[in-house]
Structures are given as structure tokens and as C-alpha cells.
A and B are shown apart, each in its own frame.
Chain A
Amino acid sequence: MKARVHVSLKSGVLDPQGKAIGNALASLGFTGIGEVRQGKLIEIEITDGDRASARAKVEAMCKELLANPVIENYAIELE
């Protein structure tokens, strides 16, 4: 099964890339845009175990490596 991990900067943490994207969208003429935040998406193929064990495994991966809890949040989605 496939796990998708969305990693995003915590609210309140400055996201200069998101800001730059917002500015670029505005300069292209898009209106009605509030704050833009950029994150990353990591897809992981899980080849053994059931959904519960897969979720637990990916949760551990997030804590140990995939996200930095000082500045980032993560959300896990199992397909």
C-alpha cells in the first residue's frame, strides 16, 4: 500500500518560499489570494503488514526523520 506524508511548516513559522509564490501569483494577475504556504509530499510504498502497522511505521518515520518537529507538522494518508 502507499503512504503519503504531507510535511508543512507550522503556522507562525516564516515561510519565505510560500511568500515568494504568493507574490509571483499576484504579479501574474491572480487576485483574491491570502497567505500561501509551501510544503512537501513524500510517497512511501509499504510492502508488508496491515494498515494499522503501516500507519504506526510511517508515524515513527515522521518522528525520526521525515519532519522536524521544531518547525514542521505532518499528516499521513494511507491509500
Chain B
Amino acid sequence: MKAAVVIFPGSNRERDVCAALKRASGQDPAIVWHRDTELPPADLIVLPGGFAYGDYLRCGAMAAHSPIMREVKARAQKGVPVLGICNGFQVLTEAGMLPGALLANRTLSFICRDVHLRIETSQTLFTCGYETGQAIRVPVAHGEGNYTADPETLDRLEGEGRVAFRYCSAEGELTDEGNVNGSARSIAGILNETRTVLGMMPHPENVTDPLLGGTDGQGLFNGIVSALQ
């Protein structure tokens, strides 16, 4: 499984996601600069976390219009899976590849801590390493992760099984307290219509090494590799 990781000026989690991908696949991902207009052959495209273009105007807005995104969109339309983590999720919504938007956290503060996520569906190439209903512990690190969309869009996402993750308690229950940033319907990650594009605010790549306090994120990368190999 060969991955391509796109780097924008201000991306900062690309090394983390590369390490997680390498651990799962045994292969180093290709690194692609945002000014490039071509992507190397890849089974998976990753938009990593960070603060692309300093979050100017709106998080992800500038990155969504950078030259490489035209190519990312074209590949996605051909069915190449795309994973956007944190800032990568914001870029995917700004690029119109996923519905909705990410607003400022309801507390207005930057939140950097472990949270719990409930796997809402294991029927995707991204989440097939988990069980539906399973709760995992993964960190978040964002100021704008408060997912919002109009009620019709939210209903459609839920009806079509396109909510991949929700924030929850340690026991896997949906509570207001567990909804770390105030996201609509506790949504932490969503899929596109073809279930080949996933955007999520939490950082599974940062819990793939026991030395860093957990390995609950490894299931995502192992699942992707097993699905794409």
C-alpha cells in the first residue's frame, strides 16, 4: 500500500502520519508539496494535520485552492481513497469534497487532550480494523473542530451511514460532556457518498506507538492497509 502525503506551508503532523503509515504498510509514503501539480501513483492520499497557510481567512480555505488540490480532487473522483486528519478535514470541507464546515470550538479554546471516539461504522475501508460501537481513545488538538451542517445534511449523513466517528464517553456513550468541541450530533468524522473520502478531527496517527501512551489509532492504519492490499 503506497500512500502520498500532501504538505502545505504550515502542515505539522505529516511526520506523525508518515510514521503511522510506515508502521502499518512497511512502506515510506511519498511526500508531495502543495505547489506540485502532479501526484505520484498512490493507493491512498493523506492531507495531514497542522495550520496550512496559518489558518488565514478560514481554516483550510487557502489550502483548498492550492494547485495540488485539483489533482487530489481528480484522483478522488476516480476512487482513490483520501484521508484528511484535523486540518486535512478542514481542507476537505473547504474544497467541497465533504459536506459541512468546522467552526470554532464552543468553548472558544484550543483543545489538546485525549478524547474517546465511538466507531459508528466498520463498513468502510478506513474503519474495517475496528468493530462498530467500539470506543477508542485518541487525542485531539484543534481550535476549530466544531462540526456543523444544516439539519438535512446531518440527517442524510446519518441515514446513509456516513458518520464514521462520534465523540463519546470512555464507556462509548454519547454525552454532552464527551462532545469535546460541541460538534453537531457529536460528529468527529464523516465520509463522502462513495465512502472513499474520510475527514476526521482527532489524531489516530498519534496513538500508534505504545511509547506515546496508546495504540488505539493503529487500527485505522492497519484497516486501510488490509483493505487496499
Contacts and interface: CB of A to CB of B under 8 A. Distances in A.
A16 B101 contact: no
Interface residues of B, number: 20
Nearest to B96: A70
Interface in B94-135: 94, 99-101, 103-108
B149 interface: yes
Given A66-B57, A68-B61, A71-B148, A14 B101 contact: no
Contacts of B149: 70
Interface residues on A, range: 10 to 19
B22 interface: no
Main secondary structure of the interface of A (DSSP, over half): helix
Given A13-B148, A14-B146, A14-B148, A68 B107 contact: no
B23 interface: no
Interface of A: 13-14, 16-17, 20, 64-66, 68, 70-71
Interface of B: 57-58, 61, 65, 93-94, 99-101, 103-108, 146, 148-150, 182
